[in-house]
């Protein structure tokens, strides 16, 4: 069966996400005020500009497919449950990084099919020079990174022998540090790096990191697009307890379980997870 996202739809999606990214970048560069949402997380005009641009894009390209965005997520579960296929959007992941001006924020668009993220675009407008960086993945199909207009196929890297080359473990700048440290303490020789947003999953997808343990809360829109990229690149995003792949839209709550992103399963990190 042909994939729902044809090459021409994919090209128009990438173009539209890039246009939304340019709006976000313009706000980032000219300055903005910061509001606080009910859950105490920050909100800027860039979150809303990106939300409106991405929802309009998706409604225009595929009017028959519903859209759930972080900024319009009050859809009752009874309604969502009936969705076989929908777009799941985080218009600005890493809002705290955006506010702190370190560039580590992303726009995220995922296609969910029967709970499985099957296609994703993650765009980081301020990473990697002019035009930013974009990761695009279709499960069972192509997966590539676009930087400075150049398309390059990506894949996860094979876990090295840690004595010859340390494993690279990527973590959040702000969340779950204690559990992260406990996990790392039980690993063989490794190095840790921190970055904001869904960029962490993209690093595993392109082989810049081996593991991303997320032992702190996230929502489905934070991870779905990048999960599709990781999966298409040969890796996995697994529930930290059951080691089953994460699925979306399985329950009322949109919160993810704690999870780990890997290039490959390996008893050494699985044991480290069990040890904490
Ligand atoms: N208590 C909590 N519940 C749900 N999600 C949380 C959370 N604390 C942080 N997050 C999520 O973690 C994301 C940031 O992760 P990181 O610090 O690794 O970059 C946030 O994305 P947003 O910036 O889109 O709000 C937010 O969704
Ligand atoms: Mg987010």
Do residues 152 and 143 make contact, with C-beta atoms less than 8 angstroms apart? no
Residue 2 has a pLDDT of 62
Residue 60 has a pLDDT of 98
Query: Around ion ligand 2, which residues have CB less than 5 A away?
Result: 90, 93, 222
* Alpha carbon nearest to ligand 1 atom 27, residue: 218
Cβ contacts of 107 within 8 Å, gap of 6 or more: 17, 20, 21, 24, 50, 54, 90, 91, 92, 93, 121, 122, 123, 125
| Distance of CA 192 from the midpoint of ligand 2 (Å) | 22
* Alpha carbon nearest to ligand 1 atom 3, residue: 217
| Distance of CA 189 from the midpoint of ligand 2 (Å) | 31
Residue 196 has a pLDDT of 97
* Measured distance CA(102)–CA(156) in Å, rounded: 25
Q: Which residues line ligand 1 (CB under 6 A)?
A: 41, 90, 93-95, 172-175, 196-197, 217-219, 222, 255
- Span 51-60, pLDDT tens digits: 999 999 999 9
* Measured distance CA(135)–CA(193) in Å, rounded: 20
- Span 165-197, pLDDT tens digits: 999 999 999 998 999 999 999 999 999 999 999
- Written out in words, the top-level CATH class of the domain with range 7-153 is alpha beta
| Distance of CA 96 from the midpoint of ligand 1 (Å) | 9
Would you kindly state where each structural domain of the chain is located, as residue ranges? 7-153, 167-274
**Which positions of the chain have pLDDT values less than 50?**
none
* Alpha carbon nearest to ligand 1 atom 23, residue: 94
Domain 167-274: which CATH number of 3.30.9.10, 3.40.190.80, 3.40.50.2000, 3.90.550.10: 3.40.190.80
Residue 72 has a pLDDT of 93
Binding-site members for substrate are 70, 92-95, 222
* Alpha carbon nearest to ligand 1 atom 26, residue: 218
* Measured distance CA(177)–CA(216) in Å, rounded: 9
| Distance of CA 130 from the midpoint of ligand 2 (Å) | 23
């Amino acid at each position: 069966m042909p994939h729902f996202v044809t090459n021409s739809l994919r090209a128009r999606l990438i173009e539209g996400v890039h246009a939304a990214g340019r709006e976000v970048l313009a706000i980032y560069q000219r300055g903005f005020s910061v509001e606080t949402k009910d859950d105490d997380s920050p909100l800027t005009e860039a979150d809303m500009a990106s939300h409106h641009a991405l929802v309009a894009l998706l409604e225009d390209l595929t009017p028959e497919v519903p859209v759930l965005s972080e900024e319009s997520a009050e859809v009752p579960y009874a309604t969502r449950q009936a969705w076989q296929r929908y777009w799941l959007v985080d218009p600005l992941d890493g809002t705290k990084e955006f506010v702190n001006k370190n560039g580590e924020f992303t726009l995220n668009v995922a296609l969910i099919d029967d709970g499985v993220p099957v296609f994703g675009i993650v765009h980081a407008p301020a990473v990697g020079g002019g035009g930013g960086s974009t990761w695009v993945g279709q499960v069972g199909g192509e997966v590539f990174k676009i930087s400075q207009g150049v398309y390059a196929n990506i894949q996860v890297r094979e876990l090295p022998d840690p004595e010859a080359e340390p494993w690279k473990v990527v973590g959040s700048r702000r969340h779950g540090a204690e559990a992260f440290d406990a996990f790392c303490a039980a690993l063989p020789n490794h190095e840790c790096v921190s970055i904001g947003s869904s960029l962490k999953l993209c690093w595993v997808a392109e082989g810049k990191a081996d593991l991303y343990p997320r032992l702190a809360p996230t929502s489905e829109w934070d991870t779905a697009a990048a999960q599709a990229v990781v999966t298409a690149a040969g890796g996995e995003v697994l529930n930290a307890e059951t080691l089953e792949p994460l699925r979306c839209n399985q329950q009322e709550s949109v919160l993810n379980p704690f999870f780990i992103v890997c290039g490959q399963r390996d008893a050494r990190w699985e044991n480290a997870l069990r040890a904490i």
